[in-house]
A and B are shown apart, each in its own frame.
Chain A
């Protein structure tokens, strides 16, 4: 079984490649990249005028399995991923029950094998039940295949618990991903704290809650000499703290979401909970700082924080609606529209942040188009104009602040291990 992708602009950040050439895939692996490959027996994809990249990797998604399948499951969520150009997604453990032991990891892997159309990596809980009290069996989970550990959705309130995790995980060479918002300062705040929340009378989530949390985690990682990864960074100060920490050699990495790179609290409208997310949409100055952090290397990866909810959960009072919205099917389009087509970021940088960089943070042998690498490939039409339509989503989520937006740029093929999974927005399976 051979596949030949002809005439695309190949961007492979890990190999610093950016050239027009053909890619030959044999037995699910990349066999050759050069100009004018001839292979009579291969299925041919014409990629002229298109961008060919390593399959996109999202290191921060919520697949909601087990327990909350009304919001999403591996079948729907992995299809959403393929539709958005992702070939690998990592799932967060804040499910019901919480993924905090090896049996649950194995069970989920089995389910993924049966139902998912892209590669599923599993992030285990750092603490039992994500309660922030006792470490979960992270060694067992590592052996079962967990790729990282996180109490995502919650800050690890006790410094000593995080410190224990940082030290203990050295044996297993896995990272901790921190959802950094100081709990006592955010409570049930539903939007950024600022003039808008003050006038609306809405309880806000102040940026200082994230600043403090990020700084504490950096200091603990520095003290433990262990790696820490900051999830969905969103404030100007937090970006500065990560930048300074990196300069002095702290093993800190960070990720940012398309929404925190492009949208502000001005979008918040209490009639529609689509913009409700943690951390919240912040100010212009935060958005600029996150973008600058992305451009200067302070922020390593772009993630979706794909967090779908059932329609009836989001279609209610803003204050009571759950936080989060789906992102897998919109991320690439939003980034190409708002960062690439506006000239704020170039394609190799965007691709790197969505493929080789997350692979590197995880220590995952993916995210490149090297010879003999597994053929996870995404083909992108950077100029395709489309409108985000929730009725066309593969995700079960519906409420997204991007619904209705006209975007320019979209993944048109997703190839997993040499098999075409998605073509022109349609999942083939």
Chain B
């Protein structure tokens, strides 16, 4: 390891605002090693053998929950899933009591997804197992922010001087916020664009952050485009007139993609609404890294879990 003095052992993963660039670098380096394991025929390594991880999910999720689960299992940890619909949460048990129950069972880490911004911060005050935020409302999705950086690094080599356009519903997007924190720390210039009803009013243009009214202006000459998911309920609450108009004016299509650099990388956190925020041809184009993001998601989460639960000292076992 280059960063011998950097350790994430025992650190709650609440948001990238709490990460130093060195810590981010450590996760990305570790993820590189982890990615090799995923390609093996026999994927199991004993790095986290004897550790117990609970996935506590208050919102539906396919990719995040599955990739945390697989990440834990590939590393030999015992992983239990608790979802809101099939637990005492439907009986009205409070988050506090659920956390205390899980803690009493002796788990080492709680990976949680919650609708309320700040719920993981609250959880980290209530119980002692390490808390990993797997998405809290519109606040943060740190593992997604890290896997986006990992994907960019994989294709672009390094970060400095890169431009990334983040397009769409920034207001409700935890991914956008984690990108903003993570990318700024790593020296990527962030260009935000979307309907102004979906850009937070008090997100300022400051060092490394630019805000555009037209998505074309954000996309122009950019190295990376991260397209954000648009939710139907936002249209119903009057934030834009129709999905049809959204697709026409704010959707990423071939014509708009051509404004970017030739080797532009297209990302999307999923699940996609193809035909709304992104056209199918762009989603499946040669520029698209969307499938690679899913694969990288497992590697990054393996890295995170290893680093917080062991400090990464078991690397020799992995290698």
Residues on A lying within 8 angstroms of B by beta carbon are 193-195, 197-202, 204, 206, 269-272, 312, 315-320
Contact = CB atoms under 8 A, between A and B. Distances in A.
A203 to B, nearest CB: 8
Nearest to B173: A201
Contacts of B124: 271
14 contacts: A194-B202, A197-B202, A200-B118, A201-B117, A201-B138, A201-B140, A201-B177, A202-B138, A270-B118, A315-B96, A316-B94, A317-B95, A317-B122, A319-B116
Contacts of B172: 201
Given A201-B174, A316-B95, A319-B137, A271 B200 contact: no
B161 to A, nearest CB: 25
Contacts of B17: 199
Interface string B167-179: 0000011100100
Closest 6 CB pairs of A and B: A270-B118, A201-B138, A198-B200, A319-B116, A201-B139, A317-B116
Interface in B78-130: 94-96, 114-119, 121-122, 124-125
B202 A318 contact: no
B138 A270 contact: no
Nearest to B94: A316
Contacts of A193: 201-202
B237 to A, nearest CB: 10
What does DSSP make chain B's interface, helix, strand, loop or mixed? Answer: loop
Given A193-B201, A202-B137, A317-B116, 12 more contacts: A199-B17, A199-B177, A200-B117, A201-B139, A201-B177, A271-B118, A315-B96, A316-B96, A316-B122, A317-B95, A319-B116, A319-B119
B81 to A, nearest CB: 21
Contacts, number: 72
A318 B203 CA distance: 22
A37 B17 CA distance: 66
Interface in B218-235: none
B117 A320 contact: no
A193 B202 CA distance: 8
A270 B201 contact: no
A312 B93 CA distance: 12
Contact of A198 (B96, B114, B115, B203): B203
Contacts of A206: 201
A271 B131 CA distance: 13
Interface residues of B, number: 27
Contacts of B139: 200-202, 270
Contacts of A318: 116-118, 121-122
A270 to B, nearest CB: 3
B122 A198 contact: no
Contact of B114 (A201, A312, A317): A317
Contact of B117 (A194, A195, A202): A202
A202 B200 contact: no
Of B118, B124, B140, the most chain A CB neighbours within 10 A belong to B118
A319 B117 contact: yes
A315 B189 CA distance: 39
Contacts of A199: 17, 177, 203
A269 B117 CA distance: 11
A222 B137 CA distance: 43
Of B17, B172, B200, the most chain A CB neighbours within 10 A belong to B200
Nearest to A196: B202
Nearest to B114: A317
Interface in B195-253: 200-204
Given A271-B118, A272-B125, A319-B116, A201 B137 contact: yes
Contacts of B137: 201-202, 319
Nearest to B180: A199
A199 B140 CA distance: 9
A194 B177 CA distance: 15
B130 to A, nearest CB: 15
A200 B119 CA distance: 12
A202 B139 CA distance: 7
A284 to B, nearest CB: 15
A320 B125 CA distance: 16
A201 B118 CA distance: 9
Contact of A317 (B119, B177, B204): B119
A200 B136 CA distance: 10
A195 B118 contact: no
A237 to B, nearest CB: 16
Contacts of A204: 202
Contacts of A198: 200-203
Contacts of B122: 270-272, 316-318
A316 B121 CA distance: 11
Nearest to B237: A187
A398 B173 CA distance: 34
Contacts of B118: 200, 202, 270-271, 317-319
B114 A195 contact: no
Nearest to B176: A201
B309 to A, nearest CB: 22
A316 to B, nearest CB: 6
A272 B123 CA distance: 10
Nearest to B115: A319
A195 B17 CA distance: 14
A319 B118 CA distance: 8
B165 to A, nearest CB: 19
B174 to A, nearest CB: 6
Contacts of B140: 201
